[in-house]
Structure 1
Amino acid sequence: MMIANIPDRDRLPHALYRAEQVRALDRLAIDEQGIPGRELMERAGRALYRLMRARWSQARRPVVLSGVGNNGGDGYVVARLALEDGLLVRVLQLGDPDRLTGDAASAHADYCSAGGLVEPFCGAPLRADLVIDALLGTGLERPVEGVWATAIAAINEQHAPVVAVDIPSGLHSDTGQVMGVAVRATATLSFIGLKQGLFIGEGPQYRGDCVFSGLEIPALIYARERLSMRRIDWPQQCTMIAPRSQTTHKGDCGHILVVGGAPGMSGAARLAGEAALRSGAGLVTVATHLEHARWLNLTRPELMVAGVESPADLVPLIERADVVALGPGLGRSGWGLDLWRAIKEVARPLVVDADALNALASEPLAREDWILTPHPGEAGRLLGMGTVEIQADRLAAVQALQSRYGGIAVLKGAGTLIQGDPSRPPAVCSDGNPGMATAGSGDVLTGVLAALIGQGLDLESAALAGVCLHAAAGDRAAREGERGMVAGDIVAALRAVANRIEVN
């Protein structure tokens, strides 16, 4: 069989959909374009088989775990193709095969007619060099239990690569929440439309490498469904940062005022300031506590530093600034709260982070010209709920943040979410890595966002591009290993990434 090239992550679509939307697209392809459902299932199975043979060409003993829905039908197509190629394929059926209907029943019959055997799943360890998860599809709405949970556990306990059909079984297609237990896939091949749950919640942890096949559905079909989310990444967003003119001077690139750095937390303000410089800001002033104002810029003399004892000291600094980044290392003492109260309504674009967000939770305020950058714990305080609730439905959380506080909401974490104008779909960044879960990473993002606003981007564009720039710099820094990364490594990578310089 001819093996086609399989697209990599950078060629994934940027449109994301809810499960019900993808089912609607599927129906439109069948009803209006006249593509038989059985043909779409055949295309899906063939795409899966091409992926198998392209990436794991040495696998000779694949095991397909099949359910009783259309995912199971896709699995039977894969099994038939493997059988025809002479592989020692096994199909383990969960659920009564008599419950297979329509196209799935037809695919099952074709596999059996080709000489394939079907075994009931009995809970025994899987003996395979490749596993195909064709158990549960996108319609899952309740926790996985019983034999289905046992089968998922068996998949996760064995050591062979796992390919998930459309979505890992047990993962909610819309929220990315694990419904009790879910398959940890090596790769997931998603069909027709990318499911948003693959990129939010716990989706990135369970999907493995995400691959897409549109099953040759005509492009005009997609115009009938408004995407529910946007996937963003640095290759897409880097075009937002235009090359500099030959006559550019520092005043054209924005003067950023970073306010923070209570006693013992000067590093946060320093990281934000340096990140702003490395992201292209023309001037950066750090307004910080008198205790360390004299030495904060000793190893980064390009930073201007102003010691601040009271809000009155901020007045001339704000007058000179184009953007204010408020919160890195601000602390929760009277000093930090006084600065927050002095700045929260100034007529400058704000980037609000860290303890400034905690102050906002205590003294709620809405405005349109700010970017809020909470992590899940801070988001919980802003919305009056627990971190677990935030993580269970991150999409709802970021939308609630924007609705309550205005401006642009950036919910940090694996799959950082951005919600700006509510008339536009929210965005999720697919760049980044676990090495970025380190102290100071959020302070770096604050500086990046402020710098892009200072260079002329509107707040939503700055949020989209800045989150991706920050994540891409984190990915560059992680080339030397995720474990042990520090925020300064991300800062060090910003310049090359912002200038699109590839360094081996």
Structure 2
Amino acid sequence: MKNTDNNYFSNCLYRVEQLQQGEEKAAKACSMTMTQLMSAAGKAVFKQLKQRFPAPANIAVCCGEGNNGGDGYIVARLAQEAGYQVQVFALKPNAELPKPVESDAHRARSAWREQGGREKALLDCAPEQFDVVVDALFGVGLNRALEGDPVIWVQRVNASTTPVISIDVPSGLNADNGHAPGAAVRAHLTVSLVALKRGLLTGQAQDHIGELVLEDLGVGESFQQQNETDWFRVDSGALGDWLPVRPRCTHKGEQGHVLIVGGQPGMSGAVILAMQSALRAGAGKVSVACHPEVQAIVAAAQPEAMVHGIRDEESLQPLLRQASVIALGPGLGQSHWSHDVFKQVMKTDVLKVIDADGLNLLASYPIRSAKMLLTPHPGEAARLLKTTTGEIAEDRFAATLQLREKYGAQVLLKGAGSLLVTDRGKSLIDRGSPAMASGGMGDLLTGLVSGLLAQKMAPAQALIAGALWHAMAGEEAGKEGERGTLASDLLPYIRRLVNGYGRDDD
């Protein structure tokens, strides 16, 4: 994401309500009127357009009735003055303006008309006839599904290959939570104005925003000073020296002991991936407690690990006592053996990273503990919260907070724009690749986080760093092709990242 010079501010994520209530106050503190702020918005969007599409490109500017439409009329006027071929398509073409004109949006529209600009009906827009479409239909205030003509227009825009620049938010997308309740524009570029809206970086938004640019319009610093936020975007520069250089005299006993519990018959691959990831993350020792029938398979996959077949409580208890961190869930299954093992592990006071069937069993045996790190995908989150995957998708922020409250654990809700609620606060990670849409990726993450914990990284830090490095490793592996990337392809990149290589390649 491109942003302003204030890197800290560009990682602050705000709610729509804060923008609606705070931008006028921020503008006033900078001696700007709201009319001047709208003018600055139009100029900022036009600047981005001009950088990508030089005159005399053929431009369609599609305007709604609110301030977002006002921004669009300013873009249209500036483009026409600069020699572009401009056509404006309005939701309510040639609507009569009140006299005297009072709103800034109406002033912008009036100025377009005074310059000789005309307006056509929205559905007269044929996107394929233009070099670029400017989406100024609906802004951040929209929190419902589109209806009527806008739906047809969005479908046409999305079906064409013409690039789209969306002002502030792609029309139809909820800027507060990243959910598209109906049709929504798939933009090639989204220019977020004043401050970054949190919903632009998570969930369905990832398929709609395209390239994201923040233009603070000269009031960003003032807005930041006047508005607190508790959600922050994480980049690799924020991790600092969380995993410091090892002393020359260190030994494996000082680098922690990970116990991975899982691997029932037919599911040995999951526990193998978690085991390998924990080793590549730098854990001093890694043990595996698996079903006896898969012990030989798991042991043959990695000679550096210690693999134990577990039949009963007596064979598991010594391993639980030796572990400094437990990874519970990869390949665990939901058999009688799985339930028995789960109950035994949950009795211990050892820090636990819980994923996969560990989470599904936790939903059946709800336990509240600060000694847990939970890493659900939306389906697992739905089971933990006794709801549906669809409801999780509608507000990922709320779901993550509910998981934290219900289980008392530190939580990572995986997916496009992963969300974390930890002892360090609320974080969002918008890294990763579609190449990671294959089996075993979650098992790698479980092993990676466990390996970091074993090396005495604080739990919140291990969850954040593990999620970020996992996503970055996926990006690197995916450079050879988004299709066909395997979870094991990430292992070499995980090793590089935990050793400090490539951490600043944002």
**What's the TM-score once normalised by structure 2's chain length?**
0.93
Q: What is residue 161 of structure 2 aligned with on the other side?
A: 159
Residue type at the aligned position of 2:107: S
Q: Which moved more, 1:385-394 or 1:24-33?
A: 24-33
> Residues 316-355 of structure 1: matches in 2 within 5 Å?
316-355=318-357
Give the secondary-structure state (helix, strand or coil) at the position aligned to 1:90.
strand
1:228 positional shift: 4.4
Residue type at the aligned position of 1:116: G
Q: In structure 1, what is the Cα distance between the partners aligned to 2:330 and 2:5?
A: 33
Q: What is residue 144 of structure 2 aligned with on the other side?
A: 142
Is 2:174–2:180's contact at 8 Å kept on the other side of the alignment?
Answer: yes
Is 1:238–1:469's contact at 8 Å kept on the other side of the alignment?
Answer: no
Q: In structure 1, what is the Cα distance between the partners aligned to 2:302 and 2:57?
A: 58
Task: Confirm or deny that 1:469 pairs with 2:469.
Answer: yes
1:283 positional shift: 1.2
Q: In structure 2, what is the Cα distance between the partners aligned to 1:224 and 1:489?
A: 45
Q: Which moved more, 1:474-483 or 1:46-55?
A: 46-55
Q: In structure 1, what is the Cα distance between the partners aligned to 2:333 and 2:272?
A: 15
2:11 alignment partner, one of 10, 14, 21: 14
Q: In structure 2, what is the Cα distance between the partners aligned to 1:243 and 1:79?
A: 55
Give the secondary-structure state (helix, strand or coil) at the position aligned to 2:439.
coil
Give the secondary-structure state (helix, strand or coil) at the position aligned to 1:409.
strand
1:239 positional shift: 4.3
> Residues 296-375 of structure 1: matches in 2 within 5 Å?
296-375=298-377
Q: Which moved more, 1:254-263 or 1:291-300?
A: 291-300
1:28 positional shift: 1.0
Is 1:45–1:77's contact at 8 Å kept on the other side of the alignment?
Answer: yes
Q: List alignment gaps of at least 5 residues for structure 2.
A: none
Q: In structure 2, what is the Cα distance between the partners aligned to 1:114 and 1:254?
A: 71
Q: List alignment gaps of at least 5 residues for structure 1.
A: none
Give the secondary-structure state (helix, strand or coil) at the position aligned to 2:474.
helix
Is 2:4–2:216's contact at 8 Å kept on the other side of the alignment?
Answer: no
Q: In structure 1, what is the Cα distance between the partners aligned to 2:68 and 2:428?
A: 26
Instruction: Output one character per residue of 1:400-454: Cα deviation in whole Å (capped at 9) or x when no partner.
Output: 1111111111111111111124xx7522211011211211100011011111111
Give the secondary-structure state (helix, strand or coil) at the position aligned to 2:264.
coil
Q: In structure 1, what is the Cα distance between the partners aligned to 2:121 and 2:382?
A: 45
Give the aligned length.
498
1:311 positional shift: 2.2
Q: What is residue 245 of structure 1 aligned with on the other side?
A: 247
Residue type at the aligned position of 1:492: P
Q: What is residue 254 of structure 1 aligned with on the other side?
A: 256
Q: Which moved more, 1:459-468 or 1:52-61?
A: 52-61
Is 2:89–2:125's contact at 8 Å kept on the other side of the alignment?
Answer: no
Give the secondary-structure state (helix, strand or coil) at the position aligned to 2:299.
coil
Is 2:157–2:185's contact at 8 Å kept on the other side of the alignment?
Answer: yes
Residue 352 and residue 194 in structure 1: after superposition, are their counterparts in 2 closer, same or farther (change >3 A)?
Answer: same
1:101 positional shift: 5.0
1:226 alignment partner, one of 219, 224, 228: 228
Q: In structure 2, what is the Cα distance between the partners aligned to 1:455 and 1:242?
A: 10
- Percent of aligned pairs sharing the same letter: 39
Q: In structure 1, what is the Cα distance between the partners aligned to 2:387 and 2:167?
A: 35
1:189 positional shift: 0.6
Instruction: Output one character per residue of 1:23-62: Cα deviation in whole Å (capped at 9) or x when no partner.
Output: 2221212344321112211221121112112233377101
Q: In structure 2, what is the Cα distance between the partners aligned to 1:57 and 1:460?
A: 47
Q: In structure 2, what is the Cα distance between the partners aligned to 1:128 and 1:387?
A: 39
Q: In structure 1, what is the Cα distance between the partners aligned to 2:49 and 2:180?
A: 25
Q: In structure 2, what is the Cα distance between the partners aligned to 1:9 and 1:294?
A: 55
Q: What is residue 486 of structure 2 aligned with on the other side?
A: 486
Is 1:9–1:211's contact at 8 Å kept on the other side of the alignment?
Answer: no
Q: In structure 2, what is the Cα distance between the partners aligned to 1:390 and 1:218?
A: 31
Q: In structure 2, what is the Cα distance between the partners aligned to 1:183 and 1:319?
A: 54
Q: What is residue 192 of structure 1 aligned with on the other side?
A: 194
Q: What is residue 453 of structure 2 aligned with on the other side?
A: 453
**What's the TM-score once normalised by structure 1's chain length?**
0.94
Residue 106 and residue 450 in structure 1: after superposition, are their counterparts in 2 closer, same or farther (change >3 A)?
Answer: same
1:29 alignment partner, one of 22, 26, 29: 26
Give the secondary-structure state (helix, strand or coil) at the position aligned to 1:68.
coil
Q: In structure 1, what is the Cα distance between the partners aligned to 2:107 and 2:140?
A: 21
Q: Which moved more, 1:35-44 or 1:116-125?
A: 116-125
Q: In structure 1, what is the Cα distance between the partners aligned to 2:236 and 2:56?
A: 35
1:358 positional shift: 1.1
Residue type at the aligned position of 2:399: A
Residue 8 and residue 157 in structure 1: after superposition, are their counterparts in 2 closer, same or farther (change >3 A)?
Answer: farther
Instruction: Output one character per residue of 1:370-414: Cα deviation in whole Å (capped at 9) or x when no partner.
Output: 101111111111111111111111111111111111111111111
Q: In structure 2, what is the Cα distance between the partners aligned to 1:71 and 1:89?
A: 18
Q: In structure 1, what is the Cα distance between the partners aligned to 2:215 and 2:347?
A: 48
Residue type at the aligned position of 2:68: N
1:212 positional shift: 0.4
Q: What is residue 278 of structure 1 aligned with on the other side?
A: 280
Task: Confirm or deny that 1:72 pairs with 2:74.
Answer: no
Q: In structure 2, what is the Cα distance between the partners aligned to 1:135 and 1:207?
A: 15
Instruction: Output one character per residue of 1:326-356: Cα deviation in whole Å (capped at 9) or x when no partner.
Output: 0100111111111100011311100011111
Q: Which moved more, 1:13-22 or 1:248-257?
A: 248-257
Q: Which moved more, 1:66-75 or 1:307-316?
A: 307-316
Q: What is residue 433 of structure 1 aligned with on the other side?
A: 433
Residue type at the aligned position of 1:397: A
Q: In structure 1, what is the Cα distance between the partners aligned to 2:31 and 2:500?
A: 45
Q: In structure 1, what is the Cα distance between the partners aligned to 2:426 and 2:259?
A: 28
Q: What is residue 54 of structure 1 aligned with on the other side?
A: 51
Q: What is residue 293 of structure 1 aligned with on the other side?
A: 295
Give the secondary-structure state (helix, strand or coil) at the position aligned to 2:471.
helix
Q: Which moved more, 1:437-446 or 1:33-42?
A: 33-42
Residue type at the aligned position of 1:304: M
